[in-house]
């Protein structure tokens, strides 16, 4: 997992101080407000609420430990460590009712989840899966939607959906195209449509072709996109599923002031604007703009 947390200190009180240990360096971090950002030695630390009586400390200056205690008494003697050793640096994420961490042992990553701040459990993929990388996509509607790269994949990820606890996963879609940006960050060709829960678009690699698929139920069913009936000039488009369909580029701009290849808004549910092409596969040629006003059921050029 790749996340941006450096230190997560979780409290629900003002003026609480905790000691965080990382190797031989001890940090005394005063937290003066909930959801405040704290700087120590030029490093950013983030504070967020988990539970009124629980403090969670994670320091990843070198090695990282996950430590819990009750805020009324957080001395060394009463601190609890859910994991006996260190967890992987930058592997902590707190999202909705879930907390995720990663531990690597024997050269293989192992992923753990805590649901509603209960004890951690190892996340269980189907027995044939051997993951080497995982990204949490969504935790809406009390389910974890995750992208997993397995041992035999290099430029694709598989999508999995979990039970309510986030422990047991089933396969939702195989071989979703992936790439890396200029900074080396993984970019998965998956787009969550704003304003409609459970709706995603994904570019799936099939043999040497990439095709765009859509789901309305968080990955349980996927369908190709029906191309428009006519082009810009009103001429009929002869495009018959499954041999021909609409394919979309799903790159989202990281700059909020510039547009990417696809856009949707919570304030306009069902409206999607994207660039793409009509044909047997996704292409960089003959790209046009397409609009849907009914949540991807029909499109017009």
Instruction: Give the residue, 114 or 42, on which the prediction is more confident.
Output: 114
Split at pLDDT 50, 70, 90, the class of 57 is very low
Return the minimum-mean-pLDDT range out of 22-26, 39-43, 58-62, 239-243.
22-26
Q: Give percent helix, percent strand, percent coil of the chain, each to the nearest 5.
A: 0, 50, 50
The residue-averaged pLDDT of 209-236 equals: 94
Token pair for 151: 């041992």
Cα 213–Cα 245–Cα 231 angle in degrees, nearest 5: 130
Q: What is the pLDDT of residue 290?
A: 96
Q: What is the pLDDT of residue 48?
A: 39
Beta bridge mates, 145: 138, 161
C-alpha to C-alpha distance for 240 and 88, rounded to whole angstroms? 49
Q: What is the pLDDT of residue 20?
A: 34
Q: Is 222 in contact with 202 (CB distance < 8 Å)?
A: yes
Q: Tokens 């407000």 appear where?
A: 33
The residue-averaged pLDDT of 24-47 equals: 35
Nearest to 89, CA basis, from 185, 5, 180, 184: 5
Q: What is the pLDDT of residue 162?
A: 97
Q: What is the pLDDT of residue 64?
A: 81
Q: Supply the mean pLDDT for the chain.
A: 79
C-alpha to C-alpha distance for 135 and 97, rounded to whole angstroms? 17
Under the phi-then-psi rule, with left for phi > 0, alpha for psi from -120 to 50, and beta for the rest, what region is 198?
A: left
C-alpha to C-alpha distance for 5 and 92, rounded to whole angstroms? 6
Tens digit of each residue's pLDDT (9 = 90 or more) over 184-196: 889 999 999 999 9
Q: Is 100 in contact with 93 (CB distance < 8 Å)?
A: yes
Q: What is the pLDDT of residue 254?
A: 59
Question: Counting beta carbons within 10 angstroms of the beta carbon of residue 52, is it exposed (0 to 12), middle (13 to 18) or buried (19 or more)?
Answer: exposed
Asked if residue 29 has pLDDT above 90, the reply is no
Q: What percent of the chain has pLDDT over 90?
A: 56
Split at pLDDT 50, 70, 90, the class of 149 is very high
Residue 246, φ and ψ in degrees, nearest 5 = -90, 135
Asked if residue 116 has pLDDT above 70, the reply is yes
- Predicted TM-score (pTM) of this structure: 0.77
Q: What is the pLDDT of residue 255?
A: 56
Q: What is the pLDDT of residue 21?
A: 31
Asked if residue 257 has pLDDT above 90, the reply is no
C-alpha to C-alpha distance for 206 and 197, rounded to whole angstroms? 27
Q: What is the pLDDT of residue 61?
A: 42
Q: What is the pLDDT of residue 45?
A: 39
Q: Tokens 């200056």 appear where?
A: 61
Q: Is 143 in contact with 162 (CB distance < 8 Å)?
A: yes
Q: What is the pLDDT of residue 155?
A: 94
Return the minimum-mean-pLDDT range out of 13-22, 99-108, 285-294.
13-22
Split at pLDDT 50, 70, 90, the class of 168 is very high
Q: Kindly state the DSSP code that residue 6 receives in the 8-state scheme.
A: S
Q: What is the pLDDT of residue 18?
A: 36
Q: What is the pLDDT of residue 171?
A: 96
């Amino acid at each position: 997992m790749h996340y941006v947390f450096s230190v997560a200190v979780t409290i629900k009180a003002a003026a609480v101080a905790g000691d965080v240990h990382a190797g031989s360096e001890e940090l005394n971090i005063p937290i003066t407000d909930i959801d405040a950002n704290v700087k120590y030695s030029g490093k950013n630390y983030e504070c967020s609420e988990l539970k009124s009586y629980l403090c969670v400390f994670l320091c990843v200056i070198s090695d990282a430990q996950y430590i819990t205690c009750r805020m009324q008494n957080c001395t060394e003697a009463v601190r609890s460590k859910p994991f006996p050793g260190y967890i992987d640096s930058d592997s902590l994420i707190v999202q909705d009712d879930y907390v995720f961490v990663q531990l690597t042992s024997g050269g293989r990553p192992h992923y753990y989840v805590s649901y509603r701040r209960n004890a951690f459990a190892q996340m269980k993929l189907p027995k044939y899966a051997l993951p080497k990388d995982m990204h949490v996509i969504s935790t809406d509607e009390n389910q974890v939607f995750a992208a997993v790269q397995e041992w035999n994949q290099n430029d694709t990820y598989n999508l999995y959906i979990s039970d309510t606890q986030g422990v047991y996963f089933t396969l939702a879609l195989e071989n979703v195209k992936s790439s890396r940006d200029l900074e080396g960050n993984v970019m998965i060709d998956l787009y969550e449509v704003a304003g409609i829960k459970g709706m995603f678009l994904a570019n799936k690699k099939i043999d040497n072709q990439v095709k765009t698929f859509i789901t309305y139920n968080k990955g349980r069913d996927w369908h190709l996109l029906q191309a428009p009936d006519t082009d810009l000039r009103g001429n009929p488009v002869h495009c018959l599923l499954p041999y021909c369909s609409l394919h979309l580029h799903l790159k989202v701009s990281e700059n909020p002031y510039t547009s990417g290849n696809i856009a949707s808004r919570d304030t306009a549910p069902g409206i999607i604007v994207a660039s793409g092409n009509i044909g047997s596969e996704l292409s960089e040629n003959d790209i046009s703009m397409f609009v849907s006003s009914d949540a991807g059921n029909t499109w017009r050029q």
